[in-house]
Amino acid sequence: MTATLRDVAAAAGVSVSTASRALTGSSEISESTRRRVSRAAQSMGYRRNLAAVSLRTRRSGLVGLVLNNLANHTFHTVVEAVQQRLVASGYQALLCITNADPAVEADYLRLLRDHQVDSVLIVGTGRNLEGVNELRRAGITVVDLIREMEGSKGPAVLAADREGAVTATRHLLGQGHRRIAFMGGPPASDSGRDRFAGFAQTLAEAGLAPDPELVRRGPFEVSFGAQAMSELLEIRPAPTALMLSNHEAVYGALPVLARAGLEIPADLSVVAFEDMPLLEWWSPPITAVDTGAHELGRLAVDLLLQPVNGQEVRPKRYTVGAELVVRASTAPPSR
């Protein structure tokens, strides 16, 4: 026998209206009640009748999730968080991987519009503002996630990249490091721009400035990390610390360090951005700036479900705080 909303409400000990609001992400419902209703719905195999809902509300129950790749662990975690929250609320996600190609991204935006999705979360290239505006003109809610599109008139959910870089740089300066290398994303990206700004700002507060010879900024690619790390290892005098703020580049940079035989942190202290299991499992474990991937996904879903609950989505920037997770990869310089 198929579980009904009334069955879910009874199992969770709430009214039918409360169960309905909890499953559609209403901000009027407490997090504890939302979790209780979601657990009851999942355990009973409850699924909303999307055809009936679509006829009644003129909504499809589909949400587009557009992002560059799944190699980035933060993106991967965000997708998991978004998918879980959407399913619990009776929605399904359509995952669109663009490989950071603006033309592919534009095609996906048209496809999502043609399929009349209710909402779109986009970790974008920043090159398809008109395509995003077309979605909004069609009545589709669009939320910029992690990267804010210049000129966007919708809400954006961003990590506190600048603040995270400030905290990480202060940590290294506090240990006595002065020759700090920086590996970051391209200046055109939010994270590339904000993380370098936080790094430079904190050095300035200490009476220092970024050494151009120690700065490498490039695409979010493993190959860039490997090449940039190889170049940094050739510099004399060598840096005593490294901030790895280009997440994808971490996969290229750390193996180069290992093959070079450098000891972390005796030869080089290392801080990475966007925490992930690889950093915790590395030998030694790498100090990291945790940018709150689960919270980013949760907040983004809350925003895109607001119209369902009769709430207005405001063109506002929302920021999720960053936290420095100190591990064994940082120590005072030995030279």
DSSP 8-state assignment for residue 175: T
330 in a structural domain = no
Q: Give the whole-angstrom CA distance, residue 272 versus residue 42.
A: 37
Give the model confidence (pLDDT) of 126-171 as tens digits.
889 899 989 988 889 999 998 888 888 889 999 999 999 999 999 9
Same domain membership, residue 203 and residue 119? no
Same domain membership, residue 114 and residue 260? no
Indicate the residue among 10, 25, 47 that finishes a domain.
47
Same domain membership, residue 283 and residue 311? no
3: exposed, middle or buried (Cβ count in 10 Å: 0-12, 13-18, 19+)? middle
146 in a structural domain = yes
Q: Give the whole-angstrom CA distance, residue 197 versus residue 188.
A: 13
Q: Give the whole-angstrom CA distance, residue 112 versus residue 50.
A: 17
pLDDT of residue 334: 85
Give the model confidence (pLDDT) of 44-88 as tens digits.
878 666 545 544 445 678 899 999 888 888 888 888 888 888 887
pTM of the model: 0.79
pLDDT of residue 24: 65
327 in a structural domain = no
Tell me if 118 sits within 8 A of 60, measured CB to CB: yes
Domain that holds residue 265: 161-292
How many other β-carbons are positioned within 10 Å of the β-carbon of residue 333? 18
The tokens for 99 are: 């490989």
Give the model confidence (pLDDT) of 279-300 as tens digits.
999 999 999 999 999 999 989 9
pLDDT of residue 56: 45
Helix (H, G, I), strand (E, B) or coil at 145: strand
Same domain membership, residue 4 and residue 94? no
Tell me if 67 sits within 8 A of 96, measured CB to CB: yes
Same domain membership, residue 234 and residue 150? no
Tell me if 157 sits within 8 A of 133, measured CB to CB: no
- Please report, for the domain that includes residue 216, its CATH number: 3.40.50.2300
Give the model confidence (pLDDT) of 83-97 as tens digits.
888 887 778 889 999
Same domain membership, residue 286 and residue 214? yes
Q: Give the whole-angstrom CA distance, residue 299 versus residue 297.
A: 6
Same domain membership, residue 165 and residue 154? no
Give the model confidence (pLDDT) of 215-268 as tens digits.
999 999 999 999 999 999 999 999 999 999 999 999 999 999 999 999 999 999
